[in-house]
A and B are shown apart, each in its own frame.
Chain A
Amino acid sequence: MYFACDLCIPSSYKSGEYPVFLFSMSMEDYDYLFKIVLIGNAGVGKTCLVRRFTQGLFPPGQGATIGVDFMIKTVEIKGQKVKLQIWDTAGQERFRSITQSYYRSANALILTYDITCEDSFRCLPEWLREIEQYANNQVVTILVGNKIDLAEKREVLRQRAEDFAESQSMLYLETSAKESDNVERLFLDLACELIQEAKQNKLDNNDTAPMPGEGKTISYLSCCNLN
């Protein structure tokens, strides 16, 4: 069993300053573990994207998310095993009541809207405000326009979304969870981006160590040092 999870324990954690997790995670063989969080209006297809990616299913069926906290998929990128922990909103977006703690310690955010629904696009600035408020500074955000299989009902032009994404320095991708268009690519691109960020962070660690509590994902139970 080896642990090469570089970014997991930032070098700023000196002995005794580790965060304490009260749960144990199954120990696995992977190089990176990232927490990816989905947000966006209800009904834009967030759960479908996750299901399509992690299980190759569509449609996921109503109520299927009951009792499921997050989905896991391990992918291999350039010979490195990357474990993606993908969190869904648990329906709390329906009445605009997502808990702040949902955003904490996310490495990446997938901000999703429905290209056939102008309203879901107009709400994006509101979501960005929440991100700014509660997510950590280094979070990677990607804007996703879903449901391109319904091209004839498109309400939001691609150019408009691209411009918006650029103005907010986000990546942009259009997907179809139904046809499985770009879904794989979405998560793999994100994983690549996150690996790069992680490496960059590691390089930068000497001068600007990441803040403890931000961006580390491994469970670590601080042990008492009584002797």
Chain B
Amino acid sequence: MAAEELPSEFDVVILGTGLAESVVAAAFSRVGQRVLHLDRRSYYAGNWASFTFNALLTWIQEHHEESQPEEVQDWSSLLEEGEELIYLSTRGSSSITNLQVFCYASEEDEEEEAPNTTEEDQGGDDEVKETPETESADSNEEEKKQKAGGTPAEEEEEQASQTEGEEPTTSAGQSQSEPTRKKISFAQLVKEGRRFNIDLVSKLMYSRGSLVDLLIKSNVSRYAEFKNVTRILTYRDGKVEQVPCSRADVFASRQLSVVEKRKLMRFLTSCVEETEEQRAYNGRPYLEFLCDQKLGDNLQHFLLHSIAMVTEDTPTEEGLASTRHFLRCLGRYGNTPFLFPVYGLGEIPQCFCRMCAVFGGIYCLRHSVSCLLLDKDTNRCKAVIDSRGQRISCSHFVVEDGFIGADWKREATPTRYLSRAVLITDSSILPSDSDQQVSMVTVPPIAAGCPAVKMVELCPSTMTCMPGTYLVHLTCQSAGSAYQDLSPVVTRMFRTPESHDQESSPTVLWCLYFNMADGSGLEGEGHDLPNNVFLCSGPDAGLGHEHAVRQAQAIFQKILPEEEFCPPAPNPEDIVYDGDNNSPSTPGDGETLEGEEEETPEGEEKVEGEEKEEKVEGEVAKEEKVEGEVEKEEKVEGEVEKEEQSLQTEE
């Protein structure tokens, strides 16, 4: 198979399968361009990828090993008259740094040796800090005690020894009062590794954001399933609290007084439209605006950190804009403005790749481009030479930022980094009736000078972690290394050997810290590129996907300004096959694509399933409700108490 030769002529060659590159690939292929899509890696999505636990361990190992520059081969024999050869970077990606792994789960179910180090730790990389040996010894002692206590631990399932057994710093006294929980060992994480889909980048999809709109518009959405983020949480005064953001939440909230509820609803109503009063605050901090609204500390915290998700010095107009965006997204698909793809974010670029392939795009992983052939006169890239020395001509070349040599980059602005942490924990940060919550958690700076942290907690039903665990992603703009930036938050909010007085917090079984280059720093204009070569940056720090989608659209429109960006793919059920020529009509042929236009799925209209009957009629109203809902508030103020009472009786 692998011996098969690639065709030697394409309209667009794309190197890298991150989100922006994949959207570009789908967009070009969809309008009939011949696309070759390559990635040097053996997996899709680059820094946007999701890995099983085992694949993540491999990824970590690969990044620990000093990446060997590939031998630079001399392809100058392939040069033609008037051409110049430009080599791409042969180094592995330098976009990931400061990898640190900590394993707090015991190594084996029954084994007593060295429970606190993973294979990677033992690999002896200097970047990996091992948990102090003394502590791991303690942990062993405790485990022994617990087991001596008579817990029947013959089967993994029956191994009901207490969680504290693996918690070196917890005293035996405390452990007695804790509820019994199943203990998950490192061996189990590995065994159940395929149940994990661990995202390198942590983002959510705004339900009215550009990615959701694009998925619906292009029909790429049919390749994926999504779940609602079920709640917004925030960390405040050492506690995790739920942020009431939808009307239902506000009424149901127990933390808010009736007065606060009224104030909040009135505020949310008033900020939907821009007022003179708001304009007066332009240029001044949003915090100041909020203060002057006399909302009280509670509401001010919620509005600033969890709804607007801005910092204390963000200007008012910006704060209001993100508040409005939040409110607009609220209620399209659920009680929060966010969706998350089942199986992880890495699915999304792959879905666009599938769309590209369906329209004829050719895919080849583990395959790279080693150099570009430039026409000296026109400063255009005429062809690329792939890693096997094949000359492939192309009209345009799109490449992931990480594959481009440093000599092409103008190092005017130093690369910014994101700090990331991934935790596997044994319980939710805020236990509730349902154990299948997907939570967005905003953590304001825990001390002056610390970054604000965005945290997403995923439950097993998102198909990103094994049953009995939660997957927690932390992200912030980096000030130091990921460990320096994020471990203080982890230590405060979770139980690790370093944390104190955290009996009720979730126990961290395993965690990973790393820094990733922040893609938002990159703008294509700043580089000395041939004029038909386009750069796609890696993931940015934003919570949504706006940056990548915007970038992809900009590249597409620069190359094909006349063409539509990702028009809807025909629904397979609507394609009519013509018996005479034995081939289906295909888009572009303009033949018998019945129903394509009429059926252009907007995606959001139909509700199917058991609850269909009641829902369908309410559907249109629902769409309006986001705005309408808030406006209605004035009238129903008097009903607040009533509704609240009825809610309480229901409970």
Residues of A at the B interface (CB closer than 8 Å) are 3, 8-9, 14, 16-27, 41-42, 55, 57, 60-61, 63-72, 90-97, 99-102, 104-105, 123, 132-133, 211-214, 218-227
- For the residues of B in contact with A, the DSSP-based class is loop
Minimum C-beta distance from B231 to chain A (A): 11
User: Which of A22, A27, A133 contacts B604 (CB under 8 A)?
Assistant: A22
- Known contacts A67-B359, A224-B332; A20/B228 CB under 8 A: yes
- Known contacts A101-B347, A104-B343; A91/B333 CB under 8 A: no
List 5 A–B pairs whose Cβ atoms lie within 8 Å, in order of A's numbering.
A22-B603, A23-B221, A27-B608, A92-B357, A223-B611
Minimum C-beta distance from B626 to chain A (A): 9
Query: Is B351 part of the contact surface with A, judged by Cβ < 8 Å?
Result: yes
Let me know if B222 and A23 touch, CB within 8 A.
yes
User: Residue on B with the closest CB to A224?
Assistant: B331
Let me know if B463 and A211 touch, CB within 8 A.
yes
A212 / chain B contacts, CB cutoff of 8 Å: 342, 436, 461, 463
What 10 new A-B contacts, CB under 8 Å, besides A23-B216, A224-B246, A226-B331? A17-B436, A22-B604, A25-B608, A63-B360, A68-B575, A92-B357, A95-B364, A104-B225, A220-B607, A221-B607
A130, B429: Cα distance in complex, Å: 34
A97 / chain B contacts, CB cutoff of 8 Å: 44, 363-365
- Known contacts A90-B357, A97-B365, A212-B461; A223/B601 CB under 8 A: no
Query: Is B145 part of the contact surface with A, judged by Cβ < 8 Å?
Result: no
Let me know if B608 and A224 touch, CB within 8 A.
no
Minimum C-beta distance from B336 to chain A (A): 10
User: Which of B331, B363, B609, B615 contacts A92 (CB under 8 A)?
Assistant: B363
User: Which of A60, A61, A64, A72 contacts B572 (CB under 8 A)?
Assistant: A72
Most buried by B among A27, A42, A212, A222: A222
Let me know if B248 and A9 touch, CB within 8 A.
no
Size class of the B contact interface (CB-based, 8 Å)? 35 or more
Let me know if B1 and A23 touch, CB within 8 A.
no
A57, B584: Cα distance in complex, Å: 11
User: Which of B1, B351, B367, B629 contacts A226 (CB under 8 A)?
Assistant: B629
Let me know if A99 and B584 touch, CB within 8 A.
no
Q: Mark B318-360, 1 if CB is under 8 A from A, else 0.
A: 0000000000000111110001001100110011011001111
A22, B359: Cα distance in complex, Å: 21
A111, B468: Cα distance in complex, Å: 33
Let me know if A14 and B434 touch, CB within 8 A.
yes
User: Which of B52, B363, B608 contacts A218 (CB under 8 A)?
Assistant: B608
Let me know if B247 and A226 touch, CB within 8 A.
yes
Query: Is B592 part of the contact surface with A, judged by Cβ < 8 Å?
Result: no
Let me know if A9 and B572 touch, CB within 8 A.
no
Let me know if A68 and B601 touch, CB within 8 A.
no
Let me know if A72 and B573 touch, CB within 8 A.
yes
Query: Is B587 part of the contact surface with A, judged by Cβ < 8 Å?
Result: yes
